[in-house]
C-alpha cells in the first residue's frame, strides 16, 4: 500500500512540475551587418545592432546601435543607446547616451539625453539635449511638440 501512495505522489508532483515550468528570460538578440554588405530599407529590432557595412534607410532599435569604423549609415536612427565610429549621415534620436568615437564622422541632427564626443570625432549638425530624462519616442509615437495642445481654462 505504501508503494501505491508513493507512485501516486510522484505522478502528482510530475504533473505540477510540467504545468508550472518557469518562463525563460528573454535574451535580447545581437544583430550584425558585416563589412562589405550593403542594405537598403527599414529595420526594426528589439536587441542590439552592430553595423560594419553600409545601411541606407531607417533603423528603430530598442537596444544599442554600434557603428564600427568601416560602417556607413544614411537615413534615420532611433535607439536607446549608440556608439558611432564610422560615417553617419542621419537624423538620430537616442533615448539615453550617444557616443561619437574618435574616428566618427557625423553629419545630421541629434536628439539625445546625453552626448559624449571623443577628441578627433567630426560632428556637423544640430543637437538637442533633453535634460528631463524622458525617453526619445520610437517610430509610432509622437514627440511632445507634435502632439495636439490642450486648450481651455483651468
pTM over 0.75? The answer is no
- The share of the chain scoring above pLDDT 70, in percent, equals 66
pLDDT of residue 131: 57
97-135: pLDDT as tens digits: 999 999 999 999 999 999 999 999 999 999 999 755 555
65-89: pLDDT as tens digits: 999 999 999 999 999 999 999 999 9
Q: How many residues does the chain have?
A: 154
Q: Are 46 and 63 in contact (CB under 8 A)?
A: yes
d(CA 40, CA 45): 15
Q: Choose among 92, 55, 63: nearest CA to 80.
A: 63
pLDDT of residue 17: 46
d(CA 84, CA 42): 19
pLDDT of residue 118: 97
C-alpha cell, 79: 535607439
Contacts of 96 (CB under 8 A, 6+ apart): 80, 81, 112, 113, 114
Amino acid at each position: 500500500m505504501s508503494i501505491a501512495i508513493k507512485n501516486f505522489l510522484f505522478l502528482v508532483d510530475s504533473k505540477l512540475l510540467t504545468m508550472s515550468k518557469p518562463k525563460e528570460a528573454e535574451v535580447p538578440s545581437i544583430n550584425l551587418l558585416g563589412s562589405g554588405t550593403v542594405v537598403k530599407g527599414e529595420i526594426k529590432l528589439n536587441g542590439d545592432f552592430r553595423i560594419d557595412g553600409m545601411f541606407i534607410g531607417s533603423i528603430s532599435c530598442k537596444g544599442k546601435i554600434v557603428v564600427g569604423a568601416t560602417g556607413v549609415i544614411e537615413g534615420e536612427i532611433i535607439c536607446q543607446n549608440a556608439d558611432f565610429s564610422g560615417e553617419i549621415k542621419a537624423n538620430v534620436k537616442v533615448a539615453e547616451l550617444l557616443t561619437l568615437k574618435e574616428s566618427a564622422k557625423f553629419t545630421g541632427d541629434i536628439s539625445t539625453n546625453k552626448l559624449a564626443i571623443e577628441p578627433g570625432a567630426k560632428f556637423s549638425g544640430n543637437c538637442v539635449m533633453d535634460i528631463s530624462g524622458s525617453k526619445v519616442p520610437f517610430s509610432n509615437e509622437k514627440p511632445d511638440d507634435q502632439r495636439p495642445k490642450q486648450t481651455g481654462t483651468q
